């Protein structure tokens, strides 16, 4: 993926650039809003990382301007303001996802890849998801593995759908909590782990190859 990072803090940007490059992405950096706006308009990016507080032009107005100009590059907004209200204003300005500082780098990476994927292959209209021998029919709401029907509860179905849509990439616990339960807070206990364990019982038990994999320190990944 080709990613533009608009972040004024030089050290934070350097770490982010290093990490993203190591993950195999092409990364550009703009240290302020004005340069960021110029680059975002001039080049074609798969995703933008925009800090909310920027010198020159603040992050949210930059996103609004891009959207007004018809640029629909996915934007991940980074902010040191983490409140419920700020999140809502961030998304309303045209951001696609919102991450509060301090964040785990794995969280940033997973969210960016998810944003880039959503854009590269818009699956919203797809009626069927296939990962290896796992098949999901979105219309009939049925799941089969190697031709065998797997009975899932509605929530388990949503959980698996989220993993399948991001197949091959890491999906973090917070992302699952947000996308499946629409909760934007972190519960103290490992609720997601318990639900994944249940899903594993149904999807992977009895098969040689485990599809749902745990990525240490990051989250989960569905891989054929």
**Residues forming the site for another protein (CB under 8 A):** 82-85, 88, 100, 102, 104, 155, 181, 183-191, 194-195, 197-198, 216-217
CB of 142 to another protein, least distance (A): 21
Residue corresponding to tokens 């110029």: 38
By C-beta, is 44 or 216 nearer to another protein?
A: 216
CB of 101 to another protein, least distance (A): 10
Buried b (16+ CB within 10 A) or exposed e, 119-152: eeeeeeeeeebebeebbbebeeeebebeeeebeb
Distances (CA, A) of 149 to 82, 133, 206: 42, 12, 13
Count of alpha carbons within 13 angstroms of residue 86, beta-carbon side: 15
CB of 84 to another protein, least distance (A): 5
CB of 198 to another protein, least distance (A): 6
According to DSSP, residue 43 is labeled S
CB of 183 to another protein, least distance (A): 5
- Contact between 16 and 41 under an 8 Å Cβ cutoff? The reply is no
By C-beta, is 86 or 135 nearer to another protein?
A: 86
- Contact between 31 and 39 under an 8 Å Cβ cutoff? The reply is no
By C-beta, is 84 or 139 nearer to another protein?
A: 84
Measure the CA–CA gap between 213 and 104, rounded to whole angstroms: 19
By C-beta, is 128 or 155 nearer to another protein?
A: 155
By C-beta, is 92 or 128 nearer to another protein?
A: 92
């Amino acid at each position: 993926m080709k990613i533009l990072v608009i972040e004024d803090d030089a050290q934070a940007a350097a770490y982010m650039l290093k990490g993203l490059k190591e993950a195999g992405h092409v990364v550009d950096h703009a240290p302020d809003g004005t340069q960021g706006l110029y680059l975002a308009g001039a080049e074609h990016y798969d995703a933008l990382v925009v800090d909310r507080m920027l010198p020159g032009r603040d992050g949210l107005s930059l996103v609004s301007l891009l959207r007004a100009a018809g640029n629909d590059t996915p934007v991940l907004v980074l902010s040191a303001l983490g409140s419920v209200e700020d999140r809502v204003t961030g998304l309303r300005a045209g951001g696609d996802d919102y991450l509060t500082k301090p964040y785990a780098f794995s969280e940033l990476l997973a969210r960016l890849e998810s944003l880039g994927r959503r854009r590269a292959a818009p699956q919203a209209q797809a009626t069927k998801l296939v990962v290896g021998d796992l098949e999901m029919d979105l219309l009939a709401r049925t799941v089969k593995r190697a031709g065998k029907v797997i009975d899932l509860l509605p929530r388990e179905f949503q959980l698996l759908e989220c993993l399948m849509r991001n197949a091959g990439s890491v999906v973090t616990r917070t992302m699952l909590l947000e996308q499946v339960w629409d909760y934007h807070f972190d519960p103290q206990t490992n609720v997601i782990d318990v639900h994944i364990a249940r899903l594993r019982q149904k999807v992977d038990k009895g098969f040689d190859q485990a599809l749902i994999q745990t990525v240490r320190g990051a989250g989960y990944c569905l891989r054929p």
